[in-house]
């Protein structure tokens, strides 16, 4: 009654998607010391200092109730006389994230992209380019999972007709018009995702995949109260927990398990959840490209399963070769 990793690799049964949702904590976990060039990833509470925009913020003449960047941006957005400062701020933020690069060696983002199949989904709230860069540099070796950019992204946009998402700097394959970069910043009190065609399409996609998924992994997303509209949209896709009595909900986060269980209680049916503080202890990292098959073996067939942990300390070329040995059975 045990399934060994060699057997699991040869199984390709699950057709439902595994949905992964990324927040800022995922990028910070991947690059605690910065990107390829040491450029630091800002979090909302140290955003201003990290980007060096203290003087620009001070020039608004406003007093702010917190040092959270989203609160500050919203206050600036409300003042028509501050439009020039707002536009300069938006440009600085866009340029900062646009210049970030993946290191040459494998990263959590490479491991994540290679560990999921084309049927699977990675939805990110992050503006940084790391998910798009990891997909771009690995897609010639293995077809990647489908990305969704919930708050826009510095690497991605769409044509003026919003035919489909594509890399900035390219042209639409339908109308051949230039790809327009996606918008990044929204005032937190007015995150009307249906008012931006690019963002609206991304949220339509995630609601669809939430309904269809057999497992959801939330990695480093804090579900802030400032983004209550996002949680409501998630709930509309996930539905009632009484109807999700077999699906699994995995949380990768450094916070206390009780806090996380309370935070995500609207998505968890009974004991069908797990919390890990480290990505490399996750279901994805221990059953790469076979999360669904491991799920079937353990939860539906009631069998013991052996982990097949991804190798962390090898080169990118060696890593791709390791994954190709799994991919050959797909």
**pLDDT > 90 in the chain, percent:** 73
- Extended strands (E) in 160-267: 165-167, 180-181, 215-219, 248-252
Residues 6 or more apart in contact with residue 284 via CB below 8 angstroms: 18, 20, 112, 115, 116, 217, 291
127: DSSP letter: -
Reported residue count of the chain is 330
Summary mean pLDDT of the chain: 92
Query: Which tens digit of pLDDT belongs to each residue from 173-220?
Result: 899 999 999 988 777 665 567 778 888 899 999 999 999 999 999 999
pTM: 0.93
Q: Could you tell me which of 313, 262, 264, 327 has the C-alpha nearest to residue 115?
A: 327
**What residues pair up with 167 in beta bridges, in sequence order?**
156
Whether residue 226 is predicted with pLDDT greater than 70 in this model: the reply is: no
- Asked whether 13 and 313 are in contact (CB, 8 A), the reply is no
How far is residue 175's CA from residue 156's CA, in Å, rounded to a whole number? Answer: 17
């Amino acid at each position: 009654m045990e399934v060994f990793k060699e057997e699991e690799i040869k199984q390709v049964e699950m057709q439902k998607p595994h949905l992964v949702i990324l927040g800022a904590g995922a990028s910070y976990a991947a690059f605690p010391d910065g990107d390829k060039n040491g450029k630091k990833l800002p979090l909302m509470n140290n955003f201003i200092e990290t980007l060096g925009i203290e003087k620009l913020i001070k020039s608004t003449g406003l007093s702010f109730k917190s040092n959270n960047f989203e609160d500050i941006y919203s206050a600036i957005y409300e003042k028509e006389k501050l439009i020039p400062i707002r536009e300069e701020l938006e440009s600085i933020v866009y340029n900062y994230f646009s210049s970030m690069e993946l290191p040459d060696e494998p990263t959590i983002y490479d491991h994540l992209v290679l560990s999921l199949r084309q049927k699977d989904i990675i939805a990110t709230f992050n503006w940084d380019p790391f998910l798009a860069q990891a997909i771009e540099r690995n897609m010639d070796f293995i077809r990647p999972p489908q990305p969704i950019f919930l708050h826009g992204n510095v690497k991605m946009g769409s044509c003026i007709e919003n035919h489909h998402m594509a890399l900035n700097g390219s042209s639409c394959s339908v109308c051949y018009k230039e790809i327009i970069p996606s918008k990044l910043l929204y005032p937190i009190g007015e995150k009307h995702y249906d008012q931006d065609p690019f963002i609206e399409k991304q949220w339509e996609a995630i609601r669809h995949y939430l309904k269809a998924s057999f497992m959801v992994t939330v990695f480093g997303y804090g579900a802030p109260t400032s983004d209550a509209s996002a949680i409501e949209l998630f709930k509309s896709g996930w539905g009632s927990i009484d109807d999700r009595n077999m699906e699994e909900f995995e949380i990768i986060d450094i916070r206390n398990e009780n806090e996380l269980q309370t935070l995500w209680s609207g998505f968890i049916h009974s004991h069908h959840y797990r919390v890990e503080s480290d990505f490399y202890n996750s279901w994805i990292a221990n059953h790469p490209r076979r999360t669904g098959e491991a799920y079937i073996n353990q939860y539906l067939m009631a069998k013991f399963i052996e982990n097949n942990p991804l190798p962390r300390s090898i080169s990118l070329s060696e890593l791709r070769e390791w994954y190709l040995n799994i991919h050959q059975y797909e």
